[in-house]
Amino acid sequence: MPEPTAPPASPPTPPIALTALLARTDLGLRQLAGPAEVSIRWVHTSEMADPYPYLLGGELLMTAGVQLADPERYVSRVVEAGAAALGFGVAPVYDAVPAALVEACARHGLPLLEVPQQTTFSGVARAVWLLMARAREDELRRVNETQRALAAAASRPAPVGAVLRVLAGRLGGWAALVTPAGSVLDAAGAEPRGAVPEGVRGLVRVVAPPAHALTATDTLGGTHLAAYALAGPRVLALATPHRAPGDHTIAGVAAVLLTLLTAERQGADEAARSAALVRLILGGAPEDAEPLLGEGPWVVVHSRGQGTPPDLGTPLVDPLGEAGEQRVRALVPADREVTTHPGWTLGVSAPATLAGLAVADTQAARALERAEATRTPLTRHRPAGFGALMDPEEAAAYARQILAPLSDTLRTTLRTWLSLHGSWDRSAVALGVHRNTVRQRIGRAAALLGVDLDNMDVRTELWLALRHS
């Protein structure tokens, strides 16, 4: 029996294909062994004789082979840790990639990349981060476009069938509304054959009462299966030939819409308000919802927990929580007090009009993240400048990659120089060195980073990196 899906331990950016990194001709990377069809989730540099304890899995491990005494054992440990690929830097330790290492990687199926002398490890890491950022932009664009298409489908005649058709088309598979017993109420896309229907029914049993799991996934014969619990009780079932980044988010949005469209015992006014809120959060025009919701001001609340959810007025149940957990997003009049609720953690946005609800929705999501990180039952949004818009852990990781080529002395000099607006004399006084020493250090830092420090965009990015390092 498939188990309820747990969130993957991965960064908030989609992985990139190794082939995309190899296509960067400016890096000069050359693959010497292993398959090319692998994905990279992050980059890690280590000169440990056994890097196993420091690997998370899915990374491109970079090394110059400083302690490469036993290539066979080294590769076996890297593979056991789940690393995606190994990048070996030529020079200063080795003039070429050791043949024993190439043979070991070939035997274990670990992709091995030769990193030429002129390519720095930090340059490879930066290339990976840039490719991930572009992949994330593509994913967000796809999710946003699909959300709008789903919202439009929900407002058509026969909305359930329309939502299922959009979902099946965007995911390239089959989407169905089914009962806990597995009977199909409505469906769109090519109907699955073979053992897949029974696999779908197995997932439906995982999320249907009395199990009450929110989501479940499985793979059967190359077909990816998923089930999402709805109200009713009903279940959204999916069978697709692939599972791309963003598919889970897209399916979750469809599940929210189908929950609202199929919910029983919901009054006409409440259904209209819920539908208006959904359209707003999915990018609808505020003026379309104003007749049903009023102009506000409102606050958006994101909450997560177990048991009876808090009474938050116009709720939007979110099926993307972990097993045994619920997530609820709601729109609440700004003059109504939002208080703590047993078993739940809440994040509350600043008051906003309908036109500002998209921003308020983001504020509430970030407030919930802060509340969970600090184990606080309720956290409200507080304006804190642009720096508060960045995820601290992701920003720190990116800062480490950017500043990796710099020594502590160069980092201190660069931080002081930037804080004093590039003044050589004032920086020299602050650091207690000669102004020419400051010039030499800043020139060295610019050369190592490969940037133009006369460019304000570059200075700003480095300043933010130094603040998060």
- Are the beta carbons of 414 and 466 closer than 8 angstroms? yes
pLDDT for 317 equals 44
DSSP summary character for residue 352: B
Instruction: Please give the pLDDT value at position 293.
Output: 62
Q: What is the pLDDT of residue 265?
A: 45
Q: What is the CATH number of domain 392-468?
A: 1.10.10.2840
Comparing CA positions, the residue from 230, 227, 249, 247 lying closest to residue 238 is 227
Interval 89-129: pLDDT, tens: 998 899 999 999 999 999 999 999 999 999 999 999 999 99
How confident is the model over 305-316, as a mean pLDDT?
65
Looking at 28-32, 76-80, 252-256, 304-308, which range is the least confident one?
304-308
Confidence tier at 431 by pLDDT (50, 70, 90): confident
Instruction: Spell out the domain ranges in the chain.
Output: 16-129, 156-262, 291-383, 392-468
| 157 Cβ neighbours under 8 A, 6+ residues apart | none
User: Between 48 and 358, where is the model more confident?
Assistant: 48
pLDDT at 156: 78
Report the chain's mean pLDDT, rounded to a whole number.
82
Q: Which has the minimum average pLDDT: 42-46, 94-98, 323-327?
A: 323-327
Average pLDDT over residues 161-188: 90
Our CA dihedral for 379, 381, 387, 390, rounded to 10 degrees, sits at 70
Whole-number pLDDT of residue 247: 86
Tell which wins on pLDDT, 242 or 111.
111
What is the pLDDT at residue 31? Answer: 96
Q: For residue 12, is the peptide bond before it cis, meaning its omega torsion is within 30 degrees of 0? A: no
Tokens (6 digits) for 333: 């009049």
Calpha distance 327→134 (Å, rounded): 29
Q: Does domain 156-262 have CATH number 3.30.450.30?
A: yes
DSSP string, 116-163: -TTS-HHHHHHHHHHHHHHHHHHHHHHHHHHHHHHHHHHTSSSHHHHH
Return the bridge partners of 378, or none: 346
- Pick from 96, 148, 113: which is nearest to 43 by CA? 113
Among 145-154, 186-195, 353-362, where is mean pLDDT lowest?
A: 353-362
Q: Cα separation of 115 and 27, whole Å? A: 8
**Of the candidate ranges 208-212, 335-339, 350-354, 419-423, the one whose mean pLDDT is the lowest:** 208-212
pLDDT number for residue 231: 65
Taking the C-alpha atoms of residue 419 and residue 379, their distance in angstroms, rounded to an integer, is 32
What percent of the chain has a predicted confidence (pLDDT) above 70?
A: 82
Per-residue confidence band for 330, with pLDDT thresholds at 50, 70 and 90: confident
Could you read off the pLDDT of 59-84 as tens digits, one per residue? Answer: 999 999 999 999 999 999 999 999 99
pLDDT at 103: 96
CATH architecture of 16-129: 3-Layer(aba) Sandwich (3.40)
237/371 Cα distance (integer angstroms) = 33
